[in-house]
Chains A and B, each alone.
Chain A
Amino acid sequence: MKRNFAYSPPGGGRHAPRGPREKITMKSVKTLGRVLGMLFKEYWFLLLIVGITTVLSSLANTRGSMFLKELVDDYIEPMIGNASAEGYARLLRAILYMGLIYLVGVASTFLHNWLMISVGQGMLRKVRARVFNKLQTLPVKYFDQHGYGNIMSLFTNDVSTLRQLISQSIPQLVTSIVTIVIVFTNMLRLSGWLTLVVCFFIALMFIFTALLGGKSGRYYIKQQASLGELNGYIEETINGQKVVKVFCHEDKAKADFDEKNQELRRNATRANTFANVVMPLMNNLGNIQYVVLAVIGGALAVSGVGGMTIGTIIAFLQLSRNFSMPVSQVSEQVNHIVLAMAGADRLFQVIDETPEDDEGTIDLVNIKKDTGDEFVECEEHTGAWAWKIPDGNGGFTYKRLLGDVILTDVDFSYVEGKQVLFDVTVDAERGEKVAFVGATGAGKTTITNLINRFYDIQDGTITYDGIDIKAIKKSALRRSLGIVLQDVNLFTGTVRDNIRYGRLDATDEEIVAAAKLANAHGFIEMLPEGYDTVLEGDGSGLSQGQRQLIAIARAAVADPPVMILDEATSSIDTRTETIVQRGMDQLMHGRTVFVIAHRLSTVMNSDLIMVLDHGHIVEQGNHDQLIEQQGIYYRLYTGAFQLD
């Protein structure tokens, strides 16, 4: 199923429970400022209109509550007992006038909603694209440090809280505040004394919401934590369900599950109880306020203090009904905004990340022979390349790409203080096949990661055709290297699209040719739709070996001048591997190839074999030389020594 990551990734809950633990801090205020800044910069005009319409629709709404007082005091009461045509005409005029105001209100509401859609969705579109585009520029290191789940959660959880913030919380907060201000002003105009009573109730409402909100928030955090734990448990157990079955471990799994499930139930019940109680409490505080207002208003009217009239009381009572709703909403929305700030903050962190630095200026271009047997730059893929070097005053010089990759005294560490490569020197001449052999963690893959600059070396130099690779644009450098990794990543799309990923302008014939070379053509033809079979979920319908064959075809269609094969054939049976190898050798004839493999059969026919141990090169030479040396390689070959 593809819906796995529909709205929240199943594993999403595992990564640091995100509850309303965030308090209002300087940071969240700053983040809010930044969100608002972005909004206003993009949409200041629309937001201006939105602001006006918000005020208009709130005005119309409260004006309506005031209207009843006028109706009773100015039109109905005087006419009781002496109805007149003129009086009715006045009444009708007043109602039509009110109708007009309402119409403006309705129109404002509509305009407000309509425009906020463009603002909210437009902003989300920008944020999504900005975060994703930023991710594309970040170094591999970033992806190592932040887990896959955390990055996914940016696009699922964090963007959706931002959406909530922009299209709901902020507009509602603004509407509520505007309404409160307008209602409050009107109340003050009607009666100062009764407003005082209202103030008391507002305070009461705020206290209660703060109290209950706090309690609910605390349990909400607990609920999220136990939800995360339970989801993690479900994920792990179900993913290992086949092992559970093989070991008949079902009962133990059920018992562990029940414990976590009940814990979640308890916390969820508490969190929801407090949240559920808020609304009825607010409503009935409103009702009690109503009664108190009526009694005090009545008393005032009877005693004649403050010129209280029946109409004033009725209008005031109506107004007070409009009050409890926005008040409780303000406190609720403030909570939401604080929550959303945590998410917005994570998004900004990505936007603020420093991208992979690329100080290189040298580009890679295809070349072809022109009529005079001279090489000239061209658009299409020709199988011949040149480095395009800017000469510093607007012009370029060209240097034929040969494929000499030389590492000199390279030191490297992923984490400071934990050096993984020591004084590594490798001399790969054009057309050579260079193999790296060594135990897991010896630094084989690290070397290839340095050549394509996924990571930068700390000391030493790496040159490509005599050019320091730092002077080459990263994109050019990587285009010049075809890489097949042990872990194959395929994309949702047809098999053909997946192979074409290697070179976007490859023709269908070239794709089939590449698939044949990788020995993938046979099984692709057997798929239900052949090359048009849609692969989903990282090619989950294929075996590991088949996926590797597609990855090899993908690299083959790219037809790069230098190739790196990192355990590329580890899941392919040896018979098929022999066939693939033959094809690859043919393709890479005259070009440089780096090979990393566990199986010695894969590396044996290399021109140069480097034996790595704990980041040091301990032996090098071709197969025969190394056998002659009778060192580690020899012992590996004879099985007297083991790799792990």
Chain B
Amino acid sequence: MKPRNQGPKLCILFACLIVAAALIFCWIKFAFRPFTALFSGISAGAQLGNIIFVVVIAVIAVLAIVIAIRSCRRYNERTGSESILGSTMIGRLASSFREYKKYVYLTPLCVILESIMDTLIPLLTGILIDQGIKNMDMPFIIRIGLVLLGCAVVSLGLGMLTGVFSARCSAGYAANLRHDLFYKAQTYSFANIDKFSTGSIVTRLTTDVGNVQMAFMAAIRVAVRCPVMLILALMMSFSINAELSYVFLGAIPILGVGLFIIMKYSRPVFRKVFKMFDRLNTTVQENVRGVRVVKSFVRQDYEKEKFGKNVDDIFYGFRKAERILAFNRPLMQFCMYGSKLLVCWLGAQLIIESGQTAMSTGQLSALLTYTLQILMSLMMLSQIFVMLTMSRASMDRVDEMLLEEPTITDPEDPVTEVRDGSVSFKDVVFAYSKHGDKPVLDHVNIDIKSGETIGIIGGTGSSKSSLVSLIPRLYDVIGGSVEVGGVDVRDYDIESLRGAVAMVLQKNELFSGTIRENLLWGNPDATDEEIRHCCHIADADRFILERPDGYDTFIEQSGTNVSGGQKQRICIARALLKKPKILILDDSTSAVDTETDAKIRAGLKNYMPETTKFIIAQRISSVQDSDRIIVLDEGRVTAFGTHDELMKSSDIYREVYWSQQKGGERLEA
């Protein structure tokens, strides 16, 4: 654990001091009451002065916040620590604003101006009541009424602008963030993808970006509006009557401390509940996916019990968390009503005593409106804090993806031409994690000539797939080197290398779209003739043409409307279209029957004699006629030679052969 980070606390203290200084400044100003004149006789100059003063204070407050965040960030940079306020993470996330940056400034500006309007309005209505209605001065009522109307219209305009700006800003920001994440994901190597898991990458791109967007939207509007409103309303009430306003100075700490305590106790409970939600969803997910298992073992009651426990946990957890939150509103009401009554009591005395000179009934009414504004903004502020902390997890997860460096990148001065399909493994050591315990490939040395057909055989977990995935540099070796066409794969331009090496993965995917579109992945410029040819080699043309739409048959997402064997054959055809120098079939014909399998192999031999072919298979019959066969066992090459040689020299090979021999798959087509 890092030592406790004092930086943000210092910065918050700094911001508080500045705000306090502004408040004291206000108080001193009002102690001399230069603005009370405003309420005894309305003077345009004084009014203007008041507005200017308010604006100045608001600007100071905003500056204070900005400086606080900046200094916080600097502190973080200097000490390398991370905290939510002004952390480098926020900086990284903020770098996705780009073309929407102007809205990031315009929105808070509009919000601030709108807040100023919103605080001016009660002041004006106070004057309206005092000087207009009290004196039944109709011309004055209409005059102030017009000013008020103007304020309302301006406020409306600003409010609408805020709405427009913030919508553009947040939607644009979310789009940019998604863009950055998606582009980042495209740079990931297999190792990066394995590290995150595809499911988690999808969640980050969808749910987490959504959460960050919500938090951002709230921050830019409410989190700006609340402190501004709080300060302005406080200043206004002080300018109306400083003595009465001390009531707020009593109420604010009570509310603040109360809210803090509520937050402090509810937050960990909420966190726990959200974890419980994950568990609940997992239970449902597994139950629905495994419905046949549940039913055949007759485990419905067991599942109900398991789910019932999840539901109960959530019920009790949520009830606990919400019960803590239930104190929120009453506390708020208590403070509000309390201050209201106190203001009424003290205000009434003041009015009576001074005979409406020190304070008027209209001012009393305005003061009560400010009471509401002050306490409300404090309340909203606390809720925003809760929301920001909740979205913190999402921010972290998004940031984690942005920070991730692709483990495989193009070298400088890359080789762009793959000479031929020769492959050699030179003392290759490979493990999926660098600090891993046991390497999955242990000192592998193999030389393969261009055009050879190589079979690979070995038990479950013998690292067959790992071996071939090094050829197109899907992973980097830990020790030794892999050479293709006599050049270390790490010296190639990745696109050139992978263009020359076609690999049909064990878990292969088709994408929603027509069969033709899927095939064109191999070569976007392929002619119909080439497509037919490759499909013929992969023995896919027969069943494709049987379909009414032929090559334009639409493949559903993840290829659910084609059988396993058909999918494999389309995938092979797709790889063939690349006209590769090296072709790797990783158990790609497991769902295809022996005869078709043989047909495909024969096709490859006849039509692609120059291509080096790697065939991983479970069936001996699939590799038996290869030029040479690699026998892998626990990451080691135990034998390498032709079928006949291996039958003599390799115990494992013989054993596999005989285990299948009995099964009658020995016969060639």
Contacts and interface: CB of A to CB of B under 8 A. Distances in A.
A544 to B, nearest CB: 8
Contacts of A95: 341, 344-345
B548 interface: no
A314 B365 contact: yes
B324 to A, nearest CB: 10
Interface in B487-519: 494-495, 498-499, 502-503, 505, 507-509, 511-512
A507 interface: no
B179 A258 contact: yes
Contacts of B159: 277, 279-281, 283-284
A39 B130 CA distance: 50
A298 interface: yes
Interface stretch (A397-405, A407-415, A458-466, A597-605): A597-605
Interface residues of A, number: 169
Interface stretch (A41-49, A365-373, A574-582): A574-582
A40 interface: no
Interface in A250-282: 250, 252-254, 257-258, 261-262, 264-266, 268-273, 275-277, 279-281
A265 B207 contact: no
A247 B498 contact: yes
Q: By DSSP majority rule, is chain B's interface helix, strand, loop, or mixed?
A: helix
Contacts of A482: 296
6 contacts: A99-B337, A262-B175, A268-B167, A483-B296, A489-B293, A490-B290
Given A537-B199, A600-B664, A290 B148 contact: yes
A362 B168 CA distance: 67
Given A310-B133, A489-B293, 7 more contacts: A10-B203, A64-B340, A75-B348, A241-B198, A284-B153, A317-B129, A600-B665
Contacts of B297: 478-479, 501-502, 558
Nearest to A250: B186
Interface string A1-27: 111111111100100000000000000
B522 A247 contact: yes
B511 A236 contact: yes
Contacts of A240: 509, 511
Given A294-B128, A298-B136, A543-B461, A121 B318 contact: yes
A148 interface: yes
B344 A129 contact: no
Q: Which of A98, A265, A301 has the most CB of B within 10 A?
A: A265
A501 to B, nearest CB: 6
A273 B665 contact: no
B278 A2 contact: yes
B326 A114 contact: yes
A99 B505 contact: no
A323 interface: no
A280 B156 contact: yes
A202 interface: no
Interface stretch (A78-86, A181-189, A335-343): A78-86
Contacts of A4: 199-200, 202-203
Interface stretch (A132-140, A587-595, A608-616): A132-140
Given A64-B340, A83-B352, A288 B298 contact: no
A215 interface: no
A367 to B, nearest CB: 19
A136 B198 contact: no
Interface in A273-325: 273, 275-277, 279-281, 283-284, 287-288, 290-292, 294-295, 297-299, 301-302, 310, 313-314, 317-318, 321
A106 interface: yes
B160 A239 contact: no
Interface string B281-313: 111111111111111111110111001100110
A5 B281 contact: yes
A117 B326 contact: yes
A538 interface: yes
A248 B134 CA distance: 79
B296 A121 contact: no
Contact of A140 (B295, B499, B659): B295
Interface string A489-510: 1111000000001101000000
Nearest to B153: A284
A265 B203 contact: no
**Nearest 4 interchain pairs by C-beta:** A601-B663, A280-B159, A276-B163, A489-B290
A248 B596 contact: no
A513 interface: no
Contacts of B193: 241-242
B561 to A, nearest CB: 13
Given A280-B163, A574-B663, A601-B664, A109 B333 contact: yes
A252 B513 CA distance: 14
A556 B407 CA distance: 44
Nearest to A13: B206
Contacts of B663: 574, 599-602, 604
